[in-house]
Amino acid sequence: MTIALNSKILLAPRTGIGNYVVELAQALQQDAGLKMHYFYGSRWQETLVDAPMPGYSRWANIVKRYLPGAYVLRRAFEQKRFNRGVRKACPDVYHEPSLWPLNFAGPTVMTVHDLTHIHYPQTQPKDRLKEIERRLPSALARVNRILVDSAFIGDEIKQHYSVPEQKIVVAPLGCAAIFQPRVEPQVAIRLKKLGLHYRGFILSVGTLEPRKNLLLTLKAHARLPLFLRERFPLLVVGMQGWHVDQLQGALSQAVSAGHVRLAGYLDQADLACVTAAARIMVFPSLYEGFGLPVLEAMTSGTPVITSDCASLPEVAAEAGIYVDPQDEEGLAEQMRCLMEDDEIWMAQHIAGLERSAQFSWKKCASVTAEVYRQAANS
């Protein structure tokens, strides 16, 4: 069976959906019954690109800013190139890993990772939001199958778009092999660069935006006794996002006191090291379609405190410690417990490793391949 996978996102620096595409594609390559063709917006290949296109994001932003109707024009260009490749490759199924499937006469599968555009429309550029609102309902109606990362997102799609349940298939994500438990000598060099000690800091991962609820983490950390804040500083990893100005006051104060370190964006190798070296991962997000940092932490042997909403309990299950995403006092208490009680910490460490073993890209690819076959026969 020949599969056309839209992989254009791999031209940009790797983020959430980009990681999904590359990890899924690599796992699907192990299925001898599938022949993969990758579409990169203007060209087709039978191999995955090795690295992002230099300057792709900068030029894409310039085009969107200064060219009226950039989304529509780019879409028309990509559709033309897509059609040309389809005529040559004759794919049996087309898989679109985001919200905008191109037109394809045959069976189509799409992946919906979340409905952020409904809950947090302010996170989307106006032109992009307009296109999502215009295209998504008809796309959901016409595709043969819809893959989702969690049952939570599947339920949201049924609720908001009245999609029949039989079209939706849950394919939980996996975790990149680079995330694994590590002993101190394996991470010492990277920790030294950041001025941190093994199991001597709290980790927060996510774009600096209100949805990730970093402000709650900052307030909870500030509630801790001074000796604990000094012993376990908070390491914040992530790029700046929308309304980051709302965090500046709390961040500046904590950074100047030496209790918070800002790492910015870290590549996957550095992120895997700090994830395995942290005492705790704190992830009280308000909305997630899956919550990959939670799985990455559990896979790395780092206990997780997360919020009790959206998909997060579905991912962490009994291995997570849960807090109300508005309860800074409760979060501070849970942080202190894992800082001071080695017995509880070890129990959560073991539970996280056991829970994370239930997820893999191999399993995700297996479900996805079966969905391809269902779509081709529908």
- Of the listed ranges 31-40, 178-187, 237-246, the least confidently predicted one is 237-246
Residue 179 has pLDDT above 60, yes or no: yes
Q: What is the mean pLDDT of residues 72-88?
A: 92
What are the residues facing 262 on neighbouring strands?
236
Q: Where are the domains of the chain?
A: 2-174+361-376, 184-356
Q: Is 240 or 25 the better-scoring residue by pLDDT?
A: 25
Q: Is 352 or 11 the better-scoring residue by pLDDT?
A: 352
Which pLDDT does position 58 carry in this prediction? 59
How far, CA to CA in Å, does 297 sit from each of 51, 304, 343, 352? 25, 7, 19, 8
**Mode of pairing for the β-strands spanning 93-96 and 44-45:** unpaired
Strands laid side by side in the 145-148 sheet: 44-45, 35-39, 2-6, 93-96, 108-112, 145-148, 168-170
Residue 62 has pLDDT above 90, yes or no: no
- Fold agreement between 2-174+361-376 and 184-356: yes
Which pLDDT does position 100 carry in this prediction? 86
- pLDDT tens digits for 272-283? 999 999 999 999
Residue 244 has pLDDT above 90, yes or no: no
Averaged pLDDT score across all residues of the chain? 90
Which pLDDT does position 15 carry in this prediction? 74
Q: What is the mean pLDDT of residues 199-211?
A: 85
Helices (H) and strands (E) in the chain, counts: 16, 13
What are the residues facing 44 on neighbouring strands?
39
Residue 137 has pLDDT above 90, yes or no: yes
Which pLDDT does position 246 carry in this prediction? 57
- pLDDT tens digits for 149-162? 999 999 999 999 99
Closest residue by Cα to residue 348 from 327, 317, 324, 312: 317
Predicted TM-score (pTM) of this structure: 0.90
Residue 184 has pLDDT above 70, yes or no: yes
Which of the four pLDDT bands, split at 50, 70 and 90, describes residue 72?
confident
Residues 278 and 203 sit within 8 Å (Cβ to Cβ) = yes
Question: For residue 254, which phi and psi values (nearest 5 degrees)?
Answer: -70, -40
**Cα dihedral: 264, 265, 271, 275 (round 10):** 40
Highest CATH level, class, for 2-174+361-376: alpha beta
- Of the listed ranges 12-21, 181-190, 268-277, 325-334, the least confidently predicted one is 12-21
What is the CATH code for 184-356? 3.40.50.2000
- pLDDT tens digits for 103-136? 999 999 999 999 999 998 876 777 778 888 888 9
